[in-house]
Every structure is written in C-alpha cells, then in structure tokens.
C-alpha cells in the first residue's frame, strides 16, 4: 500500500474516532436531559469572594466520574466563581452564567479527582448544590473547580461555608 493508501486509512480512523465521540456525547446528553436549565441570575448580595479558576465538571453528587451535561456546565474552561450573601455564581468563559441560590447550596469540599481531571490532594474544590429536574424534584450535584492558589481556595471554601443555609457537614 502506498503513502496515499496509508493516509486514507489514518483519515478514516480519525473520522471514525470523532464519530464515536459524537455519539457518546449525544448519549450522555440524553441521559442528562431530565435536568432543568440552571438559574442565570442571583438577587443582589454582599460580595464575599471572587476567584478566577478552572471549571472541570459537574457530576452527580458523590459520583465524581459521572459527568452531567447541563446547559452552560457541559464543557471545561476558565471561569470566575463569585460568592455573595445570596449564593454562588459560576461564569465559564464563552458560556451563560450559572447561579446557585443560597437555598440550593448544600456544602463544599476538596477533592483530588473528577472526570477528565486528576490533581494533587485537595487540588479541586467541589461546590455541592441542588439542581432542578424536569420531574419537579431537585438532584444533588457537585461542580468541580481547580483553584491553584491555596489562599484563594481557602477563601472560596470559607465564603461558601458562610452562606450555607444549614451547617456544613464533613464530606
């Protein structure tokens, strides 16, 4: 087989790989279709912290390797997490903002791994919150962000703990 033949084989393999990835993403999207679109705005409140970080994923609570495809939370990217007395806001570059009202916050903890991301011990921060489902129920989810500066990580954890509607529990 000549150079052109091998080039066609490689091109066909790459095309097949992208097709499989596309079908897998569609299947994951369908499995997450029971989830409602997140809120976009928070009531005004006093600013507690604003941290630039990297958004990694949103998963079902306690299942860090099961990515949920939620509008504005489906893809990784640079983000700003803002915490006010009204709740938290995740603004991923190129996406609509995601607002987490104070009443929907459940907790915050550090982690080492989530889908597509493994870092040093306590290198990820998981914001635990309740996302509305189309069934009328709420689903517990964890949104993972990578905060590299320990001072910023501690400030984010302290700010979320300050606005929790109930005492935080150890995770």
Summarised one tens digit per residue, pLDDT across range 76-108 is 999 999 999 999 999 999 999 999 999 999 999
Q: 24 exposed, middle or buried (CB, 10 Å; 0-12, 13-18, 19+)? A: exposed
Nearest to 145 by CA among 132, 133, 159: 159
- pTM of model > 0.85: no
**Cα separations (Å) of 45 from 83, 88, 92, 102, 129?**
9, 10, 21, 11, 19
Answer yes or no: is 133 within a domain.
yes
Looking up tokens 């991923």, which residue turns up? 92
Question: Is residue 97, in this structure, part of any structural domain at all?
Answer: yes
- Residue 145, pLDDT score: 97
- Answer whether 150's CB lies under 8 Å from 159's CB: no
pLDDT of residue 152: 95
pLDDT per 10-residue tile (average), the chain, 171 residues:
86 89 73 78 93 95 89 92 97 96 95 88 94 87 94 96 74 48
pLDDT of residue 46: 95
Number of domains in the chain: 1
Residue 87 in any domain: the answer is: yes
Write down the pLDDT at residue 71. Answer: 86
Residue 138 covered by a domain: yes
With respect to residue 10, please indicate whether it lies within any of the assigned structural domains. Answer: no
Which residue range(s) make up the domain with 65?
Answer: 47-163
**Using CA atoms in the order 35, 37, 43, 45, what is the torsion angle rounded to 10 degrees?**
70
> How many angstroms separate the first and last alpha carbons of the chain?
58
- The confidence score (pLDDT) of residue 117 equals 84
């Amino acid at each position: 087989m000549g150079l052109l033949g091998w080039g066609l084989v490689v091109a066909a393999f790459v095309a097949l790989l992208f097709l499989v990835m596309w079908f897998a993403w569609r299947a994951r999207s369908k499995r997450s279709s029971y989830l409602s679109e997140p809120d976009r705005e928070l009531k005004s409140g006093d600013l507690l912290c604003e941290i630039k970080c990297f958004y990694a994923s949103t998963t079902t609570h306690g299942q860090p390797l099961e990515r949920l495809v939620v509008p504005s939370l489906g893809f990784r990217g640079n983000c700003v997490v803002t915490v006010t007395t009204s709740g938290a806001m995740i603004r991923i570059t190129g996406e609509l903002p995601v607002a987490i009202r104070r009443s929907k916050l459940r907790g915050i903890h550090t982690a080492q791994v989530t889908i597509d991301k493994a870092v040093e011990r306590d290198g990820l921060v998981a914001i635990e919150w309740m996302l509305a489902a189309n069934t009328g129920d709420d689903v517990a989810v964890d949104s993972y962000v990578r905060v590299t500066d320990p001072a910023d990580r501690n400030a984010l954890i302290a700010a979320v703990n300050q606005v929790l509607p109930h005492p935080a529990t150890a995770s």
